[in-house]
Structure 1
Amino acid sequence: MMVQPYRGYGSRTRVFLMGRVFRQARLGRMIPRRGMLRDTADVVRRIARRGYADARVEIRLGDNSVAVTTDRDGYFDAQLAIAYPLPEGVAWHRADLVVTAGSEPPVQASVDVFVALPETDLMVISDIDDTVMYTGVADKLRMLYRLFVEKPHRRTAFSGAASLYQALHRGAEGHAQRPIIYVSRGPWAIYEVLETFFQLNHIPVGPILFMREWGISLRHPWPRRAEDHKRDLIARMLALFDEMPCILIGDSGQHDPEIYTQIVEANPDRIKAIYIRRVDDKPDRERAIQRLRDQIRHTSCELVLAPDSNLMAEHAYANGYISSHGVEAVRRDIADCKNDPA
């Protein structure tokens, strides 16, 4: 039995923490430590994990605690009320977990939890697939290969993305520690891969949230639609970080512009900007996004369709969301990438 908590998030009054308890096959002695056979075995182990239902998960954060039970797939979703204040002036905190199930010996784990500081002026909610990292969701076979098989160091971050997210995290003054929450269309099985990818590419860490477990089967080999889940997830974030302004970042390839526009219409004073990375040159798609831009023109939010991270950074700087050092870092990284395409 193993427990994998996912990085948590919350406010000074509530914290959310998710994870999974599962069984995973051991690697045999004949499996080498490196190479294609090891990579294949790791992929198979992640996909073939069996969730441990009805396991008890005790969570402690400072002097606050809660106990939850895993569902039939082994997942737990805990909400912890902060009755005892956490240390002041600190955004990242450590939560400790103890998992017990039947006759199994208890399993302990710990995980980081991001709690926004009271003075935080802005939060960022960003898609991952084809927004931070090239996935190619339009080509489902290649997407599945990249999601499950491709190693973190071989995955491609869009040029300037790391600098843009660093600038948004630090803010106009350079020390804001804003929350950045990432959402993905992928399954929870690739969580570790994305964690490593973010570290390798110096992208600011933050809670990584997935829409749902895919539930892939032979009858339904493709993931279920996630638009409603994504909309509900963003609404949950807005409710948690009460009245905090927000920037939404996504791509033009799927339904991000439509979902984000609906979010703006429901929260016209909360969303300050929508940044959409243009991932294709389809005129019909650009016209559709232009109509969405016109649809929210009466609000304080501007939808920016950008071919690269530079245009997003320039808009963010012009509106006081990032510093001059931040926008220069994005420009420099994009220029370096063009000069050294390898």
Structure 2
Amino acid sequence: MWLVRQWTSFVKRLVHVNAKPMKRNFGRGGMMVHPYRGYGSQREVFVMGRVFRQLALGRAIPRRGIFRDTADVARRIFRRGFANAEVELVLGGNQLCVTTDRDGYFDVHLPISHALPIDVSWHVADIKVKAEGQRSVNTQVEIYVPPPEADLLVISDIDDTVMFTGVAEKLKMLYRLFVHKPHRRTAFPGVASLYQALHRGGSDKAERPILYVSRGPWAIYEMLETFFQLNRIPVGPILFLREWGLSLRHPWPRRAEAHKRELIDRMLTLFDDLPCILIGDSGQHDPEVYSDVVRDYPGRIKAIYIRRIDRDPAREQAIQNLRNQLADTDCQLVLAADSVLIAEHAHVEGYISARGLQAVKRDVKESYQDAPTNKSR
């Protein structure tokens, strides 16, 4: 009986999460736009999003509950990308108009000719969408631009690096993503203080950019934002790599490695004046992808931190081989069982302060002393 209740809860939450992006439209149909949080520099900014058609919600459907969620999921599945819509992005005195592709996606690369304020990191851009025979749609999007004094770029995976998802066990991963509430979806011990220390740097006053990538679907965007806030993890542009299912054109997840590498290349090119740290996990392809990045960007990658999520001897040997291959570079590959080992190396190299290191040690110690919470980990 308990198992039935758990799986019923799983199905309901899975449906609810997939329905959530539809809620902001209050059941309206027609042309809609969903921009994703952008990022950039004082030279160029990037904003992605999608314009689509969707059905209106019938008046007979209740406002909340499983029937409303099911109806919203159906609306999401059967919505169609709006091809050839005009998308205008305006940021300060800068603007650019692009056209959506056949699936309704747009990717704006806006050159910055009018300088942005340097005293803020998050900028708000206006988006206007027009298409023949449709009412225009206006919305806004946040864009992150690091301050001029930033001295280091941090690019981090999320799944099994910041948050335990069990990617190696797909069913458990889905259960954790869609059944556990954000505050119960466990962050690894010490992650919040580690990323805060990396954000503040050795001086405790830096505001380094931390950019996150994920193998997850766009459907969990809001849930991940809540997770970051509740766990006090510094927020950056959360860049998802794939659209999962939810359309007849692409019924299966796309390969993550190529998309992750493409995004890393884009970030390193954009922030070409900053050295970089890469953070990932041992479970899938992060060590291999990151090692290739080191070879392709000589001198740029200062450290690779890989969180060990299992004790597979063959996998550890493979990572050791990668470490040996990088021995003649400026980059050190660190395979760490916990956040303390990462923090200790980062402190020795001057990436975080002594205060930051102590905060990581304290948080990890307190986490392991918390027996009830520890059981869920």
Q: TM-score, normalised by structure 2?
A: 0.83
Unaligned runs of at least 5 residues, structure 1: none
Report the alpha carbon displacement of residue 215 of structure 1 after superposing the two structures with TM: 5.1
Label 1:210 to 1:157 Cα distance change in 2 as closer, same or farther (>3 A). same
Label 1:284 to 1:159 Cα distance change in 2 as closer, same or farther (>3 A). same
Distance in 2, Cα, partners of 1:238 & 1:108: 31
Q: Give the conservation status (yes or no) of the 8 Å contact 2:244–2:251.
A: no
Q: Give the conservation status (yes or no) of the 8 Å contact 1:147–1:186.
A: no
1:319 corresponds in structure 2 to 349
Report the alpha carbon displacement of residue 126 of structure 1 after superposing the two structures with TM: 0.6
Report the alpha carbon displacement of residue 103 of structure 1 after superposing the two structures with TM: 2.9
Label 1:165 to 1:128 Cα distance change in 2 as closer, same or farther (>3 A). same
| One of 257, 260, 266 as aligned partner of 1:227 | 257
Distance in 2, Cα, partners of 1:150 & 1:27: 30
Report the alpha carbon displacement of residue 303 of structure 1 after superposing the two structures with TM: 0.6
2:278 corresponds in structure 1 to 248
Distance in 2, Cα, partners of 1:123 & 1:27: 48
Distance in 1, Cα, partners of 2:248 & 2:120: 47
Report the alpha carbon displacement of residue 147 of structure 1 after superposing the two structures with TM: 4.1
Which one has a larger percent helix, Structure 1 or Structure 2? 2
Match of 2:333, as an amino acid? L
2:126 corresponds in structure 1 to 96
2:368 corresponds in structure 1 to 338
Label 1:151 to 1:28 Cα distance change in 2 as closer, same or farther (>3 A). farther
| One of 279, 303, 327 as aligned partner of 1:297 | 327
Question: Structure 1, residues 12-71: CA drift from partner, whole Å, max 9, x if none?
Answer: 1111111122337648675465x7667766666666654333222111111000111222
1:209 corresponds in structure 2 to 239
Distance in 1, Cα, partners of 2:351 & 2:243: 34
Question: Structure 1, residues 230-278: CA drift from partner, whole Å, max 9, x if none?
Answer: 2222111111111310000000000000000010111120001001011
2:210 corresponds in structure 1 to 180
Q: Give the conservation status (yes or no) of the 8 Å contact 1:272–1:300.
A: yes
Question: Structure 1, residues 172-203: CA drift from partner, whole Å, max 9, x if none?
Answer: 11222111111111222322222222122211
Distance in 2, Cα, partners of 1:275 & 1:43: 38
Is 1:271–2:298 an aligned residue pair? no
Label 1:12 to 1:268 Cα distance change in 2 as closer, same or farther (>3 A). same
1:153 corresponds in structure 2 to 183
| One of 47, 52, 63 as aligned partner of 2:82 | 52
1:85 corresponds in structure 2 to 115
Q: Give the conservation status (yes or no) of the 8 Å contact 1:43–1:149.
A: no
Distance in 2, Cα, partners of 1:168 & 1:265: 24
Match of 1:301, as an amino acid? C
1:139 corresponds in structure 2 to 169
Unaligned runs of at least 5 residues, structure 2: 1-30
Q: Give the conservation status (yes or no) of the 8 Å contact 2:78–2:247.
A: no
Question: Which sits farther off after the overlay, 252-261 or 205-214?
Answer: 205-214
Label 1:311 to 1:207 Cα distance change in 2 as closer, same or farther (>3 A). same
Report the alpha carbon displacement of residue 213 of structure 1 after superposing the two structures with TM: 2.5
Q: TM-score, normalised by structure 1?
A: 0.91
2:102 corresponds in structure 1 to 72
Distance in 2, Cα, partners of 1:232 & 1:335: 37
Q: 1:114-129 maps to which residues of 2 (within 5 A)? A: 114-129=144-159
Percent identical: 66
Q: Give the conservation status (yes or no) of the 8 Å contact 1:27–1:41.
A: no
Match of 1:70, as an amino acid? T
**Structure whose CA Rg is larger:** 2
Label 1:32 to 1:176 Cα distance change in 2 as closer, same or farther (>3 A). same
RMSD, aligned α-carbons:
2.5
1:286 corresponds in structure 2 to 316
Q: Give the conservation status (yes or no) of the 8 Å contact 2:242–2:254.
A: no
| One of 47, 51, 54 as aligned partner of 1:21 | 51
Distance in 2, Cα, partners of 1:160 & 1:27: 47
Distance in 2, Cα, partners of 1:169 & 1:183: 16
Aligned residue pairs total 341
Q: Give the conservation status (yes or no) of the 8 Å contact 1:56–1:100.
A: yes
Match of 1:126, as an amino acid? S
